Structure 1
């Protein structure tokens, strides 16, 4: 039985990884940034500003907690081009691997590229790697969320869809052997096919080794379509949907109970082969956003388990209500909260700690007695008022007596014209 084929998940038509048959449905692209609306070329122009997905994050506050140093993130994709200035020092070339088959299904040779996984003719894997760990560059405001993390490049798919669940399982196992702490998989099976048990077994092996596995949820969500995708739907995998600039589900993003969180996936600026940047859309680029956050947490809390890291991301996500839904899971990931609201590790998210409905105002309590302090205050008031009344009374009496004496003296005196 042939292994199910895989596809990567950008929504834009430009520079899209086409790995399925001609019936592959692509979600329509959202509007890209003005300077990057044309088809992407390799190399491309340098993006001068700070992309919106990074503007929503206080990077100074984030990086004061962690930059991902010492954490290894495996990018299982179409390869990672190390010719890009922001990636050449971010990639561990020696640990990379090319796992593409030698021949395609027709028996024709495949152009495999470098055996260390650093060839990327598609650009998909290079974009994914940049979102995770691109190094700072004075020419651009774009940078990876974990700019000191290390990328392990694993080329497992290409533009013709020669990767399948068998090569993906092999890639996961190689990532574990290469010491990856986090694995990013921006692919799913064509038609949401349930893969062979070997892929699930490979995922389970990674989780058992305390590796965080992050996977994109898929781009077939138009019209409210709900279905499971793999490997995102496997238990223990952190499934990531795409959100837009309003922190709402992107129209193409796959929905389902398996979705754990959402992250920016519209107009995503990132690195491309041979230099420069391009904009793209899809849950393919939401997943590495979350993988970068996972790398930051792992660097700050090296003893935390994979489950605790996943729970931290879920628990601190921005929610519109307490609990989980099938559109954005536990909410849109909040990198700063994930790194600062971390007093203790959690094993599972707590719905009651999310946003709650406003409470009706409570009625004022009816006093049925008085405390000793209240009684003393009341008596002191009485004394003060009484003293004031007494003083006023005495003062009034003195004035009356004085006036009476004056009138008496006037009455007793003889008239002015009387002779004595």
Structure 2
């Protein structure tokens, strides 16, 4: 292949190769976990009553793809004059200054149409922002008791490892489930690497309910994120690729699960996702089990 020809491998986001047909691992579940079905997990659920924060570039509140599901939010800005160096502005009618957040919100709404979406804007027109703003947005989501938080962004700055770890733990123990896209390049990023977070990369499928579990770190789940049709600025749509667009598929499914089973903890929801993954199958019977006498 000449250097001028595009390569499918180059166009795929990092970590997506773990969900290709050649490398995808089948996983086995046993005991009560094997009894969990998708019908039990989210059958009949619409996401009603679930509050989802989308930490991103904002959400175009009147975009048809979000169908009136936006309930407000906040804009987190860097401000050296404040003690925290952050300023929070209430955002009752959110706007998106890039398109990325609207894309994620549209995916979530398509899966969980009755979930309530909140815009937490922490990045600007060039899709960049300070890690401090990101952390502030996550803290806002935790303090405002969101049920699920979608983070299709991350930071690779190691000096923020401890802060994001602390926030991820706080969310976990308060019952706030965090869903984070992994980096689009093969490099560490936070908070997707923490075990208390549901980390997601892209696969090539387009069925929103086809998702895979990966037992090999750093990414746990794969969902559609390659050449997906997403909402964009000014009520438009775009075909986009990135781990960013895989994460909201899992966020939407989590919203369905939490709506139907509101008492499940983040740990338990991860287990449900594992059990319902497309590549999950019941564990084979242990040789000799059939011939055992009952105790």
Q: TM-score range by the shorter chain?
A: 0.7 to 0.9
Provide the C-alpha distance between the structure 2 equivalents of 1:175 and 1:183, rounded to a whole number of angstroms: 7
Q: Does 1:306 align with 2:283?
A: no
Q: Partner of 1:176: helix, strand, or coil?
A: helix
Q: Distance in 2 between matches of 1:319 and 1:62?
A: 16
1:352-367 to structure 2, matched below 5 A, reads 353=282
Secondary structure of the 1:120 match is: coil
The 1-side partners of 2:93 and 2:132 are apart by 17
The reply on whether 1:242 has 2:202 as its aligned counterpart is yes
Following the alignment from structure 1 to structure 2, what is the Cα–Cα distance between the partners of residues 219 and 163?
A: 17
Per the alignment, residue 54 of structure 2 pairs with 75
CA–CA separation in structure 2 for the residues paired with 1:282 and 1:271: 14
Structure 1 gaps, min length 5 = 1-26, 31-58, 104-111, 134-143, 222-226, 248-254, 323-352, 360-420
Q: Please name the residue that 2:27 is paired with.
A: none
Which structure has the larger Rg? 1
Task: Quote the Cα distance in structure 2 between the aligned partners of 1:117 and 1:82.
Answer: 6
- For residue 232 of structure 1, the aligned residue among 188, 192, 209 is 192
- Partner deviation per Cα, 1:127-155 (whole Å, 9 max, x = no partner): 0000001xxxxxxxxxx111111111100
Residue aligning to 1:65:
44
Question: d(CA) in 1 for partners of 2:216 and 2:89?
Answer: 37
Question: Distance between the aligned counterparts of 1:243 and 1:127, measured in 2?
Answer: 17
Partner in structure 2 of residue 186 of structure 1: 152
Match of residue 120 from structure 1: 96
Equivalent position of 1:131 in the other structure: 107
CA contact (8 A) 2:206 2:224 kept: no
The within-5 A match list for 1:333-344 is none
Shift of 1:162: 4.7
Determine helix, strand or coil for the equivalent of 1:128: helix
Secondary structure in structure 2 of the residue aligned to 1:92: strand
Equivalent in 71, 76, 87 of residue 99 of structure 1: 76
How many angstroms apart in 2 are the aligned matches of 1:261 and 1:194?
Answer: 26
- Could you say what secondary structure the match of 1:99 adopts? strand
User: Is the Cα–Cα contact under 8 Å of residues 41 and 257 in structure 2 kept in the other structure?
Assistant: no
Show structure 1 runs of 4+ deviating over 6 A: 59-63
Contact 1:68 1:295 in 2 (8 A): yes
Cα 1:269–1:113 shift into 2, 3 Å:
farther
Task: Output aligned runs, 1:381-392, within 5 Å.
Answer: none
Matched residue of 1:130: which SS? helix
Correspondence 1:235-314 to 2 at 5 A: 235-245=195-205, 257-314=217-274
Give distance in 1, aligned partners of 2:176 and 2:59.
21
Flag the structure with higher strand content.
2
> How many angstroms does 1:88 deviate by?
5.0
Distance 2:202 2:268 in 1: 22
Deviation at 1:276, TM superposition (A): 3.0
Query: Over aligned residues, Cα RMSD in angstroms?
Result: 3.4
